[in-house]
Structure 1
Amino acid sequence: MILQIKVKPNAKQQKLEQQADGSWLAHLKSPPVDGKANAELIKLLAQRFAVPKSQVTIKSGGAAKLKLIEILE
């Protein structure tokens, strides 16, 4: 499964919301420094979709707010 996710780092609370257009919005507590926000995003998605973290991959947008994520099931 491929997801398009917009990331908002430095949020007050961590949450994942699906938008009306089918994309996702991730509010992350971590700052976008040294991959901390990406690591938090992978952990959040693994919990949400009940898969191991190793099955969640950032395909594009590693340093951008808009990311394409692949989740293997």
Structure 2
Amino acid sequence: MSWLSSYGCGVRIQVKVQPRASCNEVVGITEEYLRIRLTAPPVDGKANKQLVKFLGQLFRCGAGKVRILHGTSGRCKLVEIDGISEDDARRLVKNCFRTEV
């Protein structure tokens, strides 16, 4: 499965999370995962809450449209985001890697 797929009214993203990082950031894309670092620890759902908020900001849709479908207790997660197209999601992720000269 690709890291990004479309469904009815949004996208599903396979995410691999590294908790307790120095900052919140997208660090890479593999065939299977969007790799994200988060500052929150994986305790009492803190990293999951931060992931939902971070993805809501990244995809400019708000945390209310982001749901973790699978993987709430592991690093690999399947996340569903309503109200965004696959093309827009790819564009917004690719913008994370652009640097200004």
- The alignment's TM-score, normalised by the length of structure 1, stands at 0.93
Distance in 2 of aligned mates of 1:54 and 1:5: 18
- The alignment's TM-score, normalised by the length of structure 2, stands at 0.68
Per the alignment, residue 13 of structure 1 pairs with: 23
The correspondence for 1:40, drawn from 42, 45, 50, is 50
Specify the structure having the higher radius of gyration (Cα): 2
Equivalences, count: 73
Structure 2: tracts of 5 or more residues without a match: 1-10, 84-101
Structure 1: tracts of 5 or more residues without a match: none
Distance in 1 of aligned mates of 2:30 and 2:16: 13
The percentage of aligned residue pairs carrying the same residue is: 36
- The runs of at least 4 aligned residues of structure 1 exceeding 6 Å deviation read none
The correspondence for 1:70, drawn from 80, 83, 95, is 80
Give SS of 1:2's match: strand
Q: CA RMSD in A?
A: 1.1
Worse overlay, 51-60 or 12-21? 12-21
Give SS of 2:14's match: strand
Q: Which structure carries more relative contact order (alpha carbon 8 Å, separation 6+)? A: 1
